[in-house]
Structure 1
């Protein structure tokens, strides 16, 4: 399984196929980095779904799709003599070595927190103007909030204990409730954002990934609602014609049949 020669042969096979497709396939010929971009994002989300489902066979397939895209971008880069797959590999190798002085240098670390702190400080030394510079603008807001908090924590800007974060959650909840009572739409939206941000921060302290947690809840809700739909259909009933009480009864049944 860990035969390096076989691994390199497999990667070489992929590079050869990429060369052939770029030269001979009408679809592959016309692709650009811009045209591939949205497809790459989709493939990454598909990989994320497979990981959440713990479907390792699907993870393997989706990793192949993502790897194909990496090879595709490198192939396009080589055609303009900007970079090729070797340059891509060397660039990440060089970065990993420079960012891990506790492995490849004489720096000593006590724990994972030290590693993360060193990582962010090294990035600033490399010319980054802000620790938040590496957070992609197009990240979904929930993921972005988590990454922002993680990154600033890496340079020591963080709460000291989880009870302080919980107090912040409760304070934000009260501020949100105050705006709801005042029926202030702009204020409600602002405070709701603050409340979500503080909850995401609390999740981080508890080592909960908020995106994964919410997606699992989404999947659970979908499964239960689809059970409800199927059950109603088997009873020759239309959801629109059912009372809320009837739907609630089916929902409780769905909870016992789905996870």
Structure 2
């Protein structure tokens, strides 16, 4: 079936194909690639397997699209992409496909570090994608630093750092300084979450979804919600919150 999909994309990008598809570049398609990855994650979160099947197809199309653009430019083909990831998976699992006596996450990280060094990215923090969501990237950077011993010994350190950063936010005297200190506060919060074994990105997504549910419930409780004073909105919020807790 992959040959059929490759053929469809080749046809769409041909001189007599689709005008929109022919106009696309790596740069213009990249936002769609990121969006499709998020839609895959959303389908998983909702446990919607039919939607997951469709979203995985959309994500696969992005790989095919980029590969076709690359093939036209003489850079690489879809087969090259598939071969490269196959080689990487075998290389990173020498205990399965090679002669290493044991494996696990530690060995995976050793192989990845060697790959980064071979690419000239020998620094501990090199290679963490800039396009990652900010919370997720912060956690990855912190994990990298922790691997070489630059980390708090326990949860007390990052927790105290939050108090310190809160005070610095309060003491900030300009918009730029406040932005800088808020950034430090968020980074410290991610660090505390990491020490508690909490995925900060997932936690914030869950909290945002909870806020959305309760806000929608508030609006359903009043036909003129936007016109209500704040104290009445707060009362509806508490009512929506209690209802959600009672119904699990």
Give the structure-1-normalised TM-score. 0.81
For 1:2-151, list aligned pairs within 5 A. Answer: 10-23=1-14, 24-109=17-102, 111-151=104-144
Distance 1:160 1:179, change over 3 A: closer
For 1:176-187, list aligned pairs within 5 A. Answer: 176-180=165-169, 182=171, 184=173
Q: Are 1:196 and 2:186 counterparts?
A: yes
Contact kept in structure 2, 1:175 and 1:191, CA below 8 Å: no
Range 77-86 or range 105-114, more displaced: 105-114
Stretches of structure 1 lacking an aligned partner (at least 5 in a row): 1-9
Q: Are 1:239 and 2:226 counterparts?
A: yes
Q: Are 1:215 and 2:205 counterparts?
A: yes
Range 99-108 or range 12-21, more displaced: 99-108
Contact kept in structure 1, 2:116 and 2:127, CA below 8 Å: no
Q: Offset at 1:43? A: 1.7
Q: Offset at 1:57? A: 1.9
Range 88-97 or range 186-195, more displaced: 186-195
Q: Are 1:253 and 2:239 counterparts?
A: yes
Contact kept in structure 1, 2:139 and 2:191, CA below 8 Å: yes
Give 3-state SS (helix, strand or coil) of 2:222's partner: helix
CA distance in 1 between partners of 2:235 and 2:123 (Å): 53
CA distance in 2 between partners of 1:219 and 1:87 (Å): 40
Range 76-85 or range 170-179, more displaced: 170-179
User: Could you give the per-residue CA deviations for residues 80-119 of structure 1, whole angstroms, max 9, x where no partner exists?
Assistant: 2221111111111222222322323333346433432443
Give 3-state SS (helix, strand or coil) of 1:207's partner: coil
Contact kept in structure 1, 2:40 and 2:55, CA below 8 Å: yes
Contact kept in structure 2, 1:109 and 1:115, CA below 8 Å: no
CA distance in 1 between partners of 2:197 and 2:157 (Å): 17
CA distance in 1 between partners of 2:169 and 2:91 (Å): 50
Give the structure-2-normalised TM-score. 0.84
Q: Offset at 1:41? A: 2.0
Q: CA RMSD of the aligned region, Å? A: 2.6
